[in-house]
């Protein structure tokens, strides 16, 4: 299935945990895998703390510090920092499903990472049956 996310800022981390969990629930799979894939060159997906919203703000801040908007970039479209951040964070995540639910730590959430918004984005979610034998 394909999840849709509307981003509102140029850079933004959006908690998509409940959307992904709903897809896992609807699949009816007890033990398996959930693959998330972002088919964009200026966006990414990551897993990190969702309990304290300041963590995602700090991640954005550090990414902006290590990948500045202004530099001697060659890419004519003018969004090279967004491409670099997308590669640093990565386009996919693989999560385990146990007893019909995503295996996430107490403080973990799944974040869609926008680096060149605002846009409407897609995340492919593939839920697979993978019983342990």
Stretch that binds Zn ion, among 8-16, 44-52, 72-80, 91-99 (CB under 5 A): 72-80
Does residue 40 touch Zn ion according to CB under 5 A? no
Residue length of the chain: 133
Does residue 87 touch Zn ion according to CB under 5 A? no
Stretch that binds Zn ion, among 6-14, 16-24, 77-85, 94-102 (CB under 5 A): 77-85
Q: Using the rule CB under 5 A, which residue among 23, 79, 109, 125 binds Zn ion? A: 79
CA distance 29 to 130: 9
Q: Count of CB atoms within 10 A of residue 51's CB?
A: 9
Q: Using the rule CB under 5 A, which residue among 31, 52, 77, 98 binds Zn ion? A: 77
Q: Give the max Cα distance, the chain.
A: 53
Q: How far is the CB of 41 from Zn ion (least distance, A)?
A: 7
What's the distance, Cα to Cα, between the start and end of the chain in Å? 27
Q: How far is the CB of 115 from Zn ion (least distance, A)?
A: 10
Place of tokens 């966006």: 43
CA 73-78-59 angle, 5° bins: 80
Place of tokens 């984005």: 121
- 11 or 79: CB nearest Zn ion: 79
Does residue 58 touch Zn ion according to CB under 5 A? no
Of the candidates 5, 4, 2, 23, the one whose C-alpha atom is nearest the C-alpha of residue 101 is: 23
Stretch that binds Zn ion, among 47-55, 56-64, 70-78, 123-131 (CB under 5 A): 70-78
- Interface residues with Zn ion (CB under 5 A) are 77, 79
């Amino acid at each position: 299935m394909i999840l849709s996310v509307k981003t509102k800022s140029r850079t933004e981390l959006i908690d998509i945990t409940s959307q992904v969990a709903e897809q896992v629930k609807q699949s009816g799979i007890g033990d398996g895998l959930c693959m998330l894939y972002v088919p964009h060159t200026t966006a990414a997906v990551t897993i990190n703390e969702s309990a304290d919203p300041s963590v995602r703000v700090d991640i954005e801040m550090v990414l902006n510090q290590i990948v500045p908007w202004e530099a001697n970039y060659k890419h004519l479209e003018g969004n090279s920092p967004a491409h670099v951040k997308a590669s640093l964070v990565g386009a996919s995540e693989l999560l385990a499903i146990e007893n019909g639910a995503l295996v996430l730590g107490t403080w973990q959430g799944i974040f869609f990472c926008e680096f060149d918004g605002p846009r409407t984005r897609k995340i492919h979610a593939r839920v697979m049956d993978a019983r342990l034998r």
